[in-house]
C-alpha cells in the first residue's frame, strides 16, 4: 500500500510523524515481552556501591533486605544513589511478603519487588495484590511519596504507575515447584525467580545445579512461565551458566551479587598479578 497521499506534494508523507513523546518500556513490560534482562543483587548497604553498580549497564539491580546488610532505613539513600538517568532499574527484595514491607519499598521509589519463599498460588496472589491499586490490588495509595514523584503523578496517574511495577516471586521449595503452574498463572505475578541456594538445599542437593533433580526443576519453572506468558528468572553463580538456563526459556538473570563479583574479580586479579610478578627475588644480603 502506498504511504503517500495524492493530495499532498509528491513524495511527502500523508501524515506527519507523531510528535507524541514515546515512553520507554518499563522493566515489567520488557520482562513480559521476553527480553533478556540482566541485573545483580546488592548485599552491601552502601549507596556508593549502589551508584557504581547502577552505572555498569545492567538492566536492573536489587537491594537485598532478606540477606544483605541493608535495612529498611538504608533503602532511601540506596535508591537515591541508584536513580541517575539511564541507570539500572532499582528493585528491592523485601524480607517477607507483608503488605507494609512491599508498600514501604514502593513508596520509597523501588520499581518492583522480589518476594522470597513463595510456596503457593494463594501467597503469590496476595503478594501481587499488595503491589497494585484497586481493582487489581489492595495497595494503599499516597500521592506525595517518592514512588509517586512527590504528587506530580496525581490521582490520574496512579493506576499506570502501579501497573509498571515488577512483581517477582521466588521459587525455592518443593511445594513451590509443585504449585508452579498455578503460581505462574496468578494475575500480577511477572517473574518466577528460582533461588538456587534455597531450592537446591530444599531438594536435598545443596549447591548441585547440575543435578538431574535441579535441572528438572529448571525445566518445570521455564515451562510454567512460558505457559503463563511470564518471565523465568534465576541468580547465576557464574555468567557461563546463563546459556543452560536460556535454553530452558529463562530470560531474567542476576549475575550473582556485587560482593561475589568483587570477591572473584579481586582473587583473579591477585592471581594474575602474582603470576606476572614471578618468583620472589632473592635478597642479596
Ligand atoms: C537463593 O539462591 O536462594 C536466592 O534467594 C538468591 O538467588
Ligand atoms: Mg533464597
Statement: residue 69 has pLDDT above 90: yes
| CB neighbour list of residue 69: distance below 8 Å, 6 or more residues apart | 43, 44, 45
What is the separation of C-alpha 9 from the centre of its chain, rounded to a whole number of angstroms?
Answer: 50
Statement: residue 11 has pLDDT above 50: no
Statement: residue 195 has pLDDT above 90: yes
Helices 121-131 and 99-107, interaxial angle, to 10°? 30
Domain 24-269 of CATH type 3.40.47.10:
no
pLDDT at 136: 85
Reported as a pLDDT band with limits 50, 70 and 90, residue 78 is: very high
Strand runs (DSSP E) across the chain, as ranges?
A: 37-42, 60-64, 89-93, 112-115, 166-171, 191-194, 231-236, 252-257
pLDDT at 63: 98
Statement: residue 10 has pLDDT above 60: no
Percent of the chain with pLDDT over 70: 92
Q: What is the pLDDT of residues 104-114, one digit of tens each?
A: 999 999 999 99
- Measured by CA distance, the residue closest to atom 7 of ligand 1 is 195
Statement: residue 23 has pLDDT above 80: no
Give the pLDDT mean for 151-167.
93
> Separation of 122 CA from ligand 2 center, angstroms?
19
Nearest atom (ligand 1) to Cα of 116: 5
Mean pLDDT of the chain, nearest integer:
92
Burial class (CB in 10 A: 0-12, 13-18, 19+), 6: exposed
Q: What is the pLDDT of residues 244-253, one digit of tens each?
A: 999 999 999 9
pLDDT higher for 230 or 282?
230
CB of residue 47 inside a 6 A radius of ligand 1: no
Reported as a pLDDT band with limits 50, 70 and 90, residue 12 is: very low
pLDDT at 84: 85
Cell of 280: 620472589
Statement: residue 194 has pLDDT above 80: yes
Task: Give dist(CA 154, CA 171) in Å, integer.
Answer: 35
- Measured by CA distance, the residue closest to atom 1 of ligand 1 is 195
Nearest to residue 254, comparing CAs of 25, 46, 64? 64
Reported as a pLDDT band with limits 50, 70 and 90, residue 135 is: confident
> Separation of 21 CA from ligand 2 center, angstroms?
40
| CB neighbour list of residue 255: distance below 8 Å, 6 or more residues apart | 38, 39, 40, 58, 236, 239, 261
Residue 256: Cβ within 10 Å count: 20
CB of residue 72 inside a 6 A radius of ligand 1: no
Contact 235, 210 (CB under 8 A): no
Reported as a pLDDT band with limits 50, 70 and 90, residue 22 is: low
Full-model pTM: 0.90
Amino acid at each position: 500500500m502506498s504511504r503517500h497521499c495524492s493530495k499532498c506534494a509528491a513524495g511527502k508523507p500523508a501524515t506527519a510523524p507523531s510528535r507524541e513523546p514515546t515512553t520507554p518500556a518499563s522493566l515489567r513490560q520488557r520482562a513480559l515481552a521476553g527480553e533478556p534482562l540482566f541485573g545483580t543483587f546488592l548485599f552491601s548497604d552502601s549507596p556508593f556501591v549502589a551508584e557504581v553498580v547502577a552505572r555498569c549497564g545492567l538492566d536492573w539491580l536489587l537491594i537485598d533486605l532478606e540477606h544483605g546488610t541493608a535495612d529498611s532505613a538504608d533503602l532511601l539513600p540506596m535508591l537515591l544513589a541508584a536513580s541517575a538517568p539511564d541507570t539500572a532499574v532499582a528493585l528491592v527484595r523485601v524480607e517477607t511478603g507483608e503488605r507494609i514491607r512491599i508498600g514501604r519499598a514502593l513508596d520509597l521509589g523501588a520499581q518492583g519487588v522480589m518476594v522470597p519463599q513463595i510456596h503457593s498460588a494463594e501467597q503469590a496472589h496476595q503478594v501481587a495484590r499488595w503491589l497494585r491499586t484497586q481493582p487489581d490490588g489492595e495497595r494503599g495509595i499516597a500521592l506525595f511519596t517518592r514512588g509517586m514523584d512527590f504528587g506530580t503523578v496525581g490521582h490520574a496517574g496512579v493506576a499506570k504507575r502501579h501497573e509498571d511495577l515488577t512483581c517477582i516471586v521466588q521459587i525455592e521449595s518443593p511445594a513451590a515447584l509443585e504449585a508452579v503452574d498455578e503460581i505462574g498463572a496468578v494475575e500480577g505475578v511477572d517473574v518466577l525467580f528460582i533461588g538456587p541456594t534455597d531450592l537446591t538445599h530444599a531438594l536435598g542437593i545443596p549447591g548441585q545445579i547440575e543435578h538431574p533433580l535441579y535441572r528438572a526443576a529448571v525445566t518445570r519453572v521455564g515451562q510454567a512461565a512460558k505457559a503463563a506468558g511470564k518471565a523465568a528468572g534465576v541468580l547465576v553463580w557464574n555468567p557461563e551458566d546463563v546459556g543452560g538456563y536460556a535454553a530452558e526459556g529463562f530470560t531474567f538473570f542476576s549475575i550473582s551479587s556485587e560482593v561475589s563479583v568483587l570477591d572473584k574479580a579481586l582473587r583473579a586479579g591477585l592471581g594474575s598479578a602474582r603470576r606476572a610478578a614471578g618468583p620472589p627475588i632473592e635478597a642479596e644480603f
